[in-house]
A and B are shown apart, each in its own frame.
Chain A
Amino acid sequence: MTRARCRALAGVAVGIVLLAACSKASPNALEPKGPDARSIADVAWLMFAMATAVYVVVAGFIIVGALRGAKASRISDNAFIWVGGLFAPIAILAILAVVTVKTTDSLRTPDPNPLKIEATGFQYWWAVEYPDEKVTTANEIRVPAGRPVEIGLHSKDVIHSFWVPELAGKVDMVPGQRNVIRFTADKPGEYRGQCAEFCGLQHAKMAFLVVAEEPGDYERWVIRQQRPRSGPSSEREAAGEQVFMRSSCAGCHAVRGTEAQGTLGPDLSDFGSRRTIGAVAVPNTRGHLAGWIENSQSIKPGNLMPPVQLEPDELLNLIEYLEGLS
């Protein structure tokens, strides 16, 4: 096999991966948006290069070997076995072993003064708590860009896994155990995360967003969440609040500063400013919200929120109220 052909083949293989890596919208592990995912991506690229080389060389031997016929050869059987089977792999694996240890070390080393968050997996949604700030939210994790984040991972039911490909590798959420994941988002932006451990019917729609903001914006958000609620700002909202408290909602959901303190469903204190409904099942629009409240099962079949029967005007007021929460 000529050098040029090797290059061409390697080029094609890498090209395919690159092509895929170019699709902008994906939560792409190879387009890292933070140092942790970046060091993994570096490892990945190093390995892709090595893998391509190994593949081309070894496959080359197979194909050439099969085509060349029973000619004499200067390469003895033993040379193949010792060099190809022993020396070369050992050399390559040694490199990989060093890479493994070094990268693992740097990824597992705690950052100084990280932002501490506790996240808990529930069947098909995520509870998020900022213990130092005393803020609770769900399905959306706001972080200041540039600051290291350390998230304690828990589960209240089955095993879930916390994965934001652009920011870090995944770590499982195991009941009865607290795991930790660390990452830093370089720039403001929205990074899609998804549950990676099969957790039941709606494992597919158990996603979340990491929203990285300018530190100032983040601070303002925190302060807004810490302020006591200033009550409904309109009559309809007030009516909506009534509906919320009277019907089953309050039994499962919490709204800061009200009597609603349920924990079976996501905390709704800042629901109005959330981008999505149902752990990134649908965008947070009026229509979707109405549909969600009437029958979330048609949007996310098998999720644990039951359909709620409401009069049309009750529903409108309720939506008004929910949209006002922020």
Chain B
Amino acid sequence: MTVTEERPPTPEEEHEAIEILWEEAPGTPGFFASVDHKRIGMRYIYTAFIFFFIAGIQALLLRAQLTSPDSQVMGPQTYNQMFTMHGTTMIFLFNTPVLAGFGNYLLPLQLGTRDMAFPRLNAFSYWVFILAAIFMYSSYLVGRPPAGGWFAYVPLTNREYSPGVNMDFWGLGVTFVGISTTVGAVNFIVTIFKMRAPGMTLNRMPIFVWSILAMAVMVIFAVPALTVGTVLLEADRLFGTQFYDPSGGGNPLLYQHLFWFWGHPEVYILFVPAAGMVATVIPVFARRRLAGYKWVAASLVAISFISFGVWVHHMFATGLPALAMSFFSAASLIIAIPSGILFFCLIATIWRGEVEWTVPFLFALGWFLIFLLGGITGVMVSVMPFDWQAHDSYFIVAHFHYVLNGAVVFPIFGALYYWLPKMTGRMLDEKLGKVSFWIMFVGFNLAFFPMHVLGLLGMPRRIYTYSSGLGWDTLNIVITAGSFMFGLGTLLTLINFLNSKFRGQPAGGNPWNADGLEWSTPTSPPPECNFESIPVAAGRHPLWDSEKLEEAESGTDEATKSMGPSGALNRQTPILSGLQSGPEETMEIPEPTYTPFVLALGIAVIFLGLLIQAALVGVLGLVVAAIGITTWLWRTESDLQ
């Protein structure tokens, strides 16, 4: 009588079963095997921030040296290594990966699905990133950090002028980390096209998703140029080829073209997702729908297209024909138009909104005021004659810190205050956040505004010292003071974060009363499977559009069977038909596995072999990588079919 066979499980039981199923192995083994996008996203963010602080300390040391003329804090060698590693770290090991981290964490949640399209590839790209970072930083362990500047122009970086293994750490490391960025981008693109919730057409996608899409497309077409540039560099260095050596018919400018064909899109690869964050935060705290949604999406896409046509503006002083350069000058000017549209859509949103002065909003406001100036100086330097004065002077250092440090780092800090509650389940302190913001904002402008003036006063960049009597002394003191102030501001946010980990207010599901699907999960952090039932996106602001979010139910056919909790129970998630938004198929989410780590490790060993020029080590790496690939392919059956 009591024997109930085949009773359908109650929702509670189902819920529990799902939790058990998605739980990952604890401890070290689980750590190396995880393929969960949230875990990987967090790892990306934490790791990247460690590098932010490392590179920040390097920056402060640079400033310490430059505070006064003829100062002796460090010698030329150390200084050159320091700014090289500062720039390289900020670009490759902080900015790019931290945005990838947010993308990883947020994309499946914002799109309403249970994981990325290729979860194992996702784990792989993180492992490549961290191993490449360790690779580059091991240069400090052996006392040979690179000193060629973050764009490593040849011939200075050729074997002849940079003997020793220093530059190889850079050339190989950058090539290595490019793998991570590229596979990450593949994953983003496919996820965006194939993994959206039912109802989420392209023109309902959250703006942040649009920005990640634009970013990923730029990565796909830009990173190869960098890879070719650094591979040819390393071939010259390690194997004696002559790509860049004029005495052998090579051409140093070839490197510059290759580098900047990536380098310019790269700065928008950083800027566009950051702008996407701002465009997400502004409507939430202006309590108003984003004005001109289509314009914003279109301008992000337009920026990513135009970004491929402007690279020569970094080479105005190399003596190219004036006519050719005018073209690039004009193209650079044109980029101001989509940026302007983006700007005014956000202004329009704020204009009739009722602003709630939260910390994320403050950082978005900081973005406005700083990026506006950085963008305007960008337009100024794209006017060729002016650039002939400004190029390679502190005016440029000012421009790119306004955009990189201002238009990218400020939104990232805003994003921390905005999304960390979802990620950790605890709020950050608003008061401390505001103090941190204002110190950062004032410190920032003190640190970087005077650099414009310094540049026009003739101070070139990348000089480890200067003599007094050139009128540069006072401004440099102000700059250093501002830098430390800015650093202090960032520390306050770090403290805020640590504090919230232990004492923060619980965040609940949707503390900001925000609009996106990521806030629809009942708890923070979200359940391991994200959504027990896949949500239905009925509009651009799903949580604002209707009182209660609709949830899909499992159907019976291949396309819809994983929509409801039964999908979560089977570690499945639905797949869409490309550009449309109807479900089409079901994907199995792979189990935790070590193969991504093994493959990444194999590649690292290959690079190590190249670095120390030991064929045997290289072969060992190939073997490990082969093992990784084979096991990977062997187990690919299920999710490929």
Contact = CB atoms under 8 A, between A and B. Distances in A.
Interface of A: 16-17, 20-21, 23-30, 37, 39-40, 43-44, 47, 51, 54-55, 58-59, 61-62, 65-73, 75, 77-78, 80-81, 83-86, 88-90, 93, 96-97, 99-101, 103-105, 107-108, 123, 153, 157-159, 161, 163, 165-166, 168-172, 174-177, 179-180, 192, 194-205, 301-302
A44 B384 CA distance: 11
B251 A96 contact: no
Interface string B390-420: 0111000000000000000000000000000
Most buried by A among B156, B288, B461, B465: B156
Contact of B153 (A163, A195, A197): A197
Nearest to A23: B471
B252 A174 contact: yes
B527 interface: no
Contact of B460 (A20, A25, A105, A194): A194
B472 interface: yes
A84 B347 contact: yes
B156 A159 contact: yes
B225 interface: no
Contacts of B379: 93, 96
B333 A97 contact: yes
Contacts of A99: 383
B471 A24 contact: yes
B385 to A, nearest CB: 4
Interface stretch (B103-111, B317-325, B436-444, B584-592): B317-325
Given A20-B475, A93-B337, A301 B329 contact: no
B80 A77 contact: no
Contacts of A169: 317, 385, 387-389, 391
A90 to B, nearest CB: 7
A158 B247 CA distance: 12
B155 A201 contact: no
Given A62-B347, A170-B392, A97 B330 contact: yes
A81 B348 contact: yes
A158 B458 contact: no
A44 B347 contact: no
28 contacts: A25-B470, A25-B471, A27-B458, A39-B385, A44-B389, A58-B343, A59-B372, A61-B351, A62-B350, A80-B344, A81-B344, A83-B344, A85-B299, A85-B343, A99-B383, A100-B333, A100-B383, A104-B325, A107-B388, A165-B389, A169-B391, A174-B318, A175-B246, A176-B251, A176-B252, A202-B76, A204-B463, A204-B464
Given A40-B386, A177-B246, A199-B156, 10 more contacts: A27-B457, A61-B351, A71-B352, A85-B342, A100-B329, A104-B384, A108-B322, A175-B246, A198-B80, A204-B464
Nearest to B460: A196
A59 B368 contact: yes
Contact of A163 (B155, B336, B341, B460): B460
A70 B355 CA distance: 8
Contact of B77 (A21, A37, A201): A201
Contacts of B295: 81, 85
A153 B66 CA distance: 30
Nearest to B325: A104
A47 to B, nearest CB: 5
B326 A26 contact: no
Given A61-B347, A170-B317, A176-B246, A28 B458 contact: yes
Contacts of A47: 380, 383, 386
A66 B347 CA distance: 9
Contacts of A194: 458, 460
A81 B292 contact: yes
Query: Which 8 pairs show the lowest CB-CB distances between chains A and B?
Result: A169-B388, A176-B246, A179-B319, A27-B458, A23-B471, A85-B341, A26-B471, A204-B463
A70 B354 contact: yes
B326 A100 contact: yes
Contacts of A20: 453, 456-457, 471, 475
A131 to B, nearest CB: 19
Interface of B: 75-77, 80, 148-149, 153, 155-156, 161, 246-247, 251-253, 287-288, 291-292, 295, 299, 317-319, 322, 325-326, 329-330, 333-334, 336-337, 340-345, 347-355, 365, 368-369, 372-373, 376-377, 379-380, 383-389, 391-393, 449, 452-453, 456-458, 460-466, 469-472, 475
Given A26-B457, A81-B295, A204-B76, A51 B380 contact: yes
Given A47-B383, A80-B351, A199-B156, A93 B389 contact: no
Nearest to B352: A73
Given A85-B340, A85-B343, A174-B318, A159 B470 contact: no
Contacts of B246: 175-177
Given A81-B291, A108-B322, A194-B458, A157 B337 contact: no
Nearest to A52: B376
A174 B353 contact: no
B287 A70 contact: yes
A200 B291 contact: no
A39 B329 CA distance: 18
A86 B337 contact: yes
Contacts of A108: 322
A196 B325 CA distance: 20
B76 A23 contact: no
Given A81-B292, A196-B391, A171 B319 contact: yes
Contacts of A86: 337, 340-341
Nearest to B395: A29
Nearest to B330: A97
Given A20-B453, A81-B341, A85-B343, A302 B463 contact: no
B388 A170 contact: yes
B392 A65 contact: no
B347 to A, nearest CB: 5
Contacts of B460: 163, 194-196, 203
B354 to A, nearest CB: 4
B470 A27 contact: yes
Given A65-B347, A171-B388, A198-B156, A90 B372 contact: no
